[in-house]
Each structure stands twice: as C-alpha cells, then as structure tokens.
C-alpha cells in the first residue's frame, strides 16, 4: 500500500540528517511535521475504513454460517420425511453457503492483518510526530546557534585579513598626517602674527626715541 510506504519513509527519516542537509532547515522541519500530520490523518481514516470493512466481512461470514445451519436443518427434515431429492438440493445449498462462509473467513483473517498493520503504522507515526514536535524547537535553536557561530567566525577571519588591516593602518597614518599638517599651519600662522606685532612695537619705539632726541637737540 502506497500510504504505508510513505508512512514508513517518514518513520525512518532521521531529523538530524535532514536538518544538516537542508538549505533552509527551519522550513524543512516544519514541512516534515506538516507531512507527518497529513499522513497521520490519512492513516487514521484508513484504520477506520479497514475496521468497518472487517466488521462487514465478519457479518457476511456469520450470515453464511447461519445459512449453512438453516439448510442443514432443511436437509435433515427432508431426510426425515423421506424426500431424498429435497435433501440433496438442501445439501447442495449447504455446500454453497459453506464455501462462501469459508471464503469470508479467509478475507476476515486477511483484513484483520491489514488492520493491525495500519494500527502499527499509526502508532509509529504518532511516536515519530511526537518526537519531531518535541525536537523541532531544539533542532532549530541548534541550527540558529551554529549559523551565528559561523557568521562570527567569518567576521573574525575578515578582521584578520592582512590587506584590510594594511588599508586600515594607511588610513590611520593619513589621518595623523592631516592632523599634524593642520597643527603646523596653525603654529605658522601664530608665529607670523607675533612677528608683525613685534615689528610694529619696534617701529613705535624708534619713533618715540626720535622724538625724544629732537626735543633734546632743540630741533
């Protein structure tokens, strides 16, 4: 039965392996659980149908057994009444219903086996579904943690890249040079201003000295 084959595939599935191989583990495990739930519903339906069929076959078997008994009584009555032709006809009916009863008995046996197979598959799938639901959060958390660790490792490796480190050092040197240049220009500007002020003061002193000298000389 295709249904039992699908159930068997789901039951044998190793959730850890499926997650490891999946491109999107979270979506995958949710899909597996959904598939199990759908199959579980189908198996429950098939179990109910199989049990109903078993009861119907058992009813048919019982009906034919009753017919065997009924026609056997008629054959006995015909014998008692010395009607051999009726007795033979009744016994033919007995054999016919007996064959039908035995056929239904074999079908009942086969149907019982089928019901047990379905019940076993149902129990196994219920157990697997419970396991998947219980482990899903844990497995997803493990996958997320592993993915985060991988990203952290990638970032660390990127930081350790020699070319990027060298570029960073060059940038630091460039910034430091710009700061030094700016400071030097500021200092140069400050020096120029002080020199100009000193020149003005010197010129002013000379003019005062000249005036004093002229006054002394009466000029």
Whether the pLDDT of residue 81 is over 80: the answer is yes
The pLDDT of residue 128: 84
Total residue length of the chain: 219
Whether the pLDDT of residue 204 is over 90: the answer is no
Range of the domain at 111: 2-159
The pLDDT of residue 215: 76
Record the pTM: 0.57
Residue 164 has φ and ψ, to the nearest 5°, of -70, -40
- What digits encode the pLDDT tens for the residues 7-50? 667 666 666 666 666 667 677 777 888 888 888 898 899 999 99
Going by C-alpha positions, the residue among 143, 135, 126 that lies closest to residue 15 is 135
State whether 153 and 173 are in the same domain.
Answer: no
State whether 50 and 151 are in the same domain.
Answer: yes
The pLDDT of residue 151: 63
Whether the pLDDT of residue 168 is over 70: the answer is no
Residue at token pair 């970032």: 155
State whether 147 and 41 are in the same domain.
Answer: yes
The mean predicted confidence, pLDDT, of the chain is 79
| Cα dihedral: 12, 16, 19, 20 (round 10) | -120
Kindly indicate the confidence band of residue 158, based on its pLDDT and cuts at 50, 70 and 90: low
State whether 102 and 41 are in the same domain.
Answer: yes
């Amino acid at each position: 039965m295709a249904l039992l084959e699908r159930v068997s595939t789901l039951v044998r599935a190793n959730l850890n392996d499926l997650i490891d191989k999946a491109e999107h583990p979270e979506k995958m495990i949710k899909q597996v659980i959904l598939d199990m739930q759908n199959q579980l519903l189908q198996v429950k339906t098939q179990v109910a149908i199989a049990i109903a069929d078993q009861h119907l076959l058992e009813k048919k078997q019982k009906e034919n057994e009753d017919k065997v008994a009924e026609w056997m009584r008629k054959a006995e009555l015909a014998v008692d009444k010395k009607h051999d032709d009726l007795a033979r006809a009744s016994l033919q009916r007995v054999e016919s219903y007996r064959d039908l009863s035995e056929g239904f008995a074999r079908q009942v046996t086969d149907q019982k086996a089928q019901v047990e197979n379905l019940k076993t598959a149902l129990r196994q799938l219920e157990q697997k579904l419970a396991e998947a639901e219980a482990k899903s959060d844990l497995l997803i958390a493990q996958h997320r943690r592993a993915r985060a660790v991988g990203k952290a490792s990638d970032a660390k490796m990127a930081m350790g890249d020699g070319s990027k480190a060298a570029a960073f050092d060059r940038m630091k040197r460039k910034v430091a040079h710009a700061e030094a240049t700016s400071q030097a220009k500021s200092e140069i500007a400050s020096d120029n201003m002080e020199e100009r002020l000193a020149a003005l003061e010197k010129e002013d002193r000379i003019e005062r000295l000249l005036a004093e000298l002229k006054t002394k000389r009466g000029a």
